[in-house]
Every structure is written in structure tokens, then in C-alpha cells.
Amino acid sequence: MTAGRPRKADPGTLYAFAHQFYWDFRRLAEGKVRWRFNEKRYQELIAELNETPSINDADRARHREIAEQEIARGELDPRKKTERLRDIADAEARARDDFYHHEAVLAAQDEIRVPGESDVIELLLNPRTTPPQIRELCKESLMTRFFKIGDEAREVDVPAWPIALGSTLPTYLSEYAAQYVAALNDRRFPSCDVSDRPSNRLKQFWFLSRALAGALYGVKTRTAINLVGSLRPEESFEESRDAKPSRRRLRYTRKT
């Protein structure tokens, strides 16, 4: 790349960052669902499973039929029928146990609804918010939790906001706070009343997401918005070919 020339922003890369930021803004506003493993319920389900035999008489009858068919086709030595029946039963029991244990893990998940952070959203959408306030706010996006793994206790930072694990939104908000505040005060920012039309809030999130993505590459808000486009992620899907019913092809007859 020529020295002194600014790095060119790729629209696809900008969209990828804007897409991520947009959904995290929505999670901040709407909340999200987290899942917690219920060890007690899991053990109860496994205990019930252990009391139920994996292989029953109907299964054994089916296994004998399989072995006899293999003998009739010359695929199995009749002297090895007992061994073959045992192998079939063991393989089927393992497969069923794996399946039931997997189902028990899924059934032992508790759904936890994490509410949105209305105070955080209010500050992030206030045009009078200052860059220092943004940076101070982002410090509250993580909290420390202690997890015990065997005999070792570990200190781990986890999101305090209802955003995706590993989200870069707080990091980039803090780093590019000045550019973010400038986008809030941009004349093109949709500063419309969201009480009448809730979709206006989504327009604001998408505007700020594109502006923040542009800030990562030193791109002005106006340019980033034009490069990424106006369609929000959910609207892009609705407009995509996959989201539309297949068109019926018309047959044309050539006139002679």
C-alpha cells in the first residue's frame, strides 16, 4: 500500500462489524436468554435412565431376525450367532445411552431471562452524552466471577451487559467514544420519537452500528453509512432471494 494513503475500507468488513454491533445494541435494549445447567435435575434423569433396561425382549427378537437373515445370505457363520447377537445388543445399547444422555443434558438446562439495560441505552442514545461518560460506562460492561475447576478457583471476566460472550462492542465504544458521540449528533442520525414507532429505535441502532464500524477504519460516518447500506440485518434477510418464494417460470413459445 502506498505510503501516506489512507486504508481503504471494505464494505463487507464494515458490514460484518456493523452487524455484530447492531445485534449487541438490540440485546442491550431487549435483554437476552442465558442457560444454566441444572446438575440436580440431570442426575435425576440419569437415575431414571439407569433403572430402564436399554435392551428389551422386542429388541432381542429383532436382533435374532437380523442375525438369521445374515446367516441366510451367507454373511454370518451360524457358529458365531451368539457372538453376533451380543455385538448388536452392545452397539445398540451404547447408541441409545449416548442419545439419552444428550437428551438429559438438554432437558437439564434452566432458562434465565436477562433483562435489558434501559439506563445504559438511555445514556448511549443521549446526544448530550460525552466521550468520558461513554468510556466510564463501558467499564461497567464486565463483571468478575469465580469458577471452581477441580481444586482450582479461577477468576473470570464475564459480560455484565446482556450482550454476546466475547463481544467487542464495549471495547470499541470506549476506544472510539469521540467518533461515536459525533455520530449521535450527526444531522442524519434518526432522532425521531420511538414511542410511536418502535422500529425507529432499530434505525438508530443501525445508524450508530455503521458509524462505529467506520470509526474502526478511520471512515467518516457518512461514508460508512453509504458503504454498508440502509437495510438492517433482519431486513436484508427478508429481501434476500432465500427469503422469497421461488418464482414460477413462464414458458415462452417461439412464433413461426
Of 86, 107, 128, the residue at which a domain comes to its end is 107
Are residues 205 and 130 part of one domain? yes
In a domain, 55, yes or no: yes
Domain boundary among 107, 127, 152: 107
Q: What is the per-residue pLDDT across 147-191, written as a single tens digit (0 to 9) for each?
A: 655 566 677 677 888 988 889 999 999 999 999 999 999 999 987
For the chain, what is the mean pLDDT? Answer: 83
Neighbours of 196 (CB within 10 A): 8
Domain assignment present for 246: no
pLDDT for res 3: 43
pLDDT at 245 over 60: no
Same structural domain, 103 and 206: no
pLDDT for residue 191: 77
- 223 found inside a domain: yes
Kindly state whether residues 160 and 228 are assigned to the same domain: yes
Please report the pLDDT score of residue 253 as a whole number.
47
Same domain as 230, residue 129: yes
Strand bridging mode 152-159 / 142-149: antiparallel
Cα R_g (the chain), whole angstroms: 29
Choosing from 65, 88, 107, the residue where a domain stops is 107
One domain for residues 81 and 126 = no
More confident residue, 41 or 213: 213
Please tell me the least confidently modeled range out of 16-20, 66-70, 125-129, 149-153. Answer: 149-153
Domain carrying residue 54:
39-107
pLDDT at 60: 92
Same domain, 75 and 194: no
Whether residues 123 and 65 fall in one domain = no
Alpha-carbon gap, residue 56 to 214, rounded angstroms: 64
Rounded to whole angstroms, how far apart are CA atoms 104 and 139?
38
Q: What is the pLDDT of residue 147?
A: 61
Q: How confident is the model at residue 4 (pLDDT cuts 50, 70, 90)?
A: very low
Q: Is residue 84 in some structural domain?
A: yes
DSSP 57: H
Does one domain contain both 124 and 96? no
Q: Is 2 part of a structural domain of the chain?
A: no
Q: Give the confidence band of 240 by pLDDT, cuts at 50, 70, 90.
A: low
Note whether residue 252 is domain-resident.
Answer: no
Q: Is residue 248 part of a domain?
A: no
Give the confidence band of 45 by pLDDT, cuts at 50, 70, 90: confident
Instruction: Count the alpha carbons within 13 Å of 87 in the hemisphere toward its beta carbon.
Output: 8
Whether residues 131 and 173 fall in one domain:
yes
Residues 78 and 132 reside in one and the same domain? no
Q: Alpha helix locations (H) across the chain?
A: 11-30, 39-51, 57-72, 81-107, 118-124, 131-138, 169-175, 177-184, 199-216, 221-228, 233-239
Shared domain for 154 and 178, answered yes or no, is yes
Please report where in the chains the cell 442419545 appears, as a residue. Answer: 99
Q: Average pLDDT of 211-238?
A: 89
pLDDT over 70 (residue 250): no
Look up residue 26 and give its amino acid: R
User: 130 versus 254: which is more confidently predicted?
Assistant: 130
Distance CA 120, CA 143 (A): 15
Whether residues 93 and 129 share a domain: the answer is no
- Across 50-54, 214-218, 249-253, the highest mean pLDDT is recorded for 214-218
Separation of alpha carbons 77 and 160, rounded Å: 65
For the chain, the domain total comes to 2
One-character DSSP codes across 77-123: -GGGHHHHHHHHHHHHHHHHHHHHHHHHHHHTEEEEEEPP-HHHHHH
pLDDT at 7: 55
> What pLDDT score was predicted for residue 6?
47
Whether 1 is covered by a domain: the verdict is: no
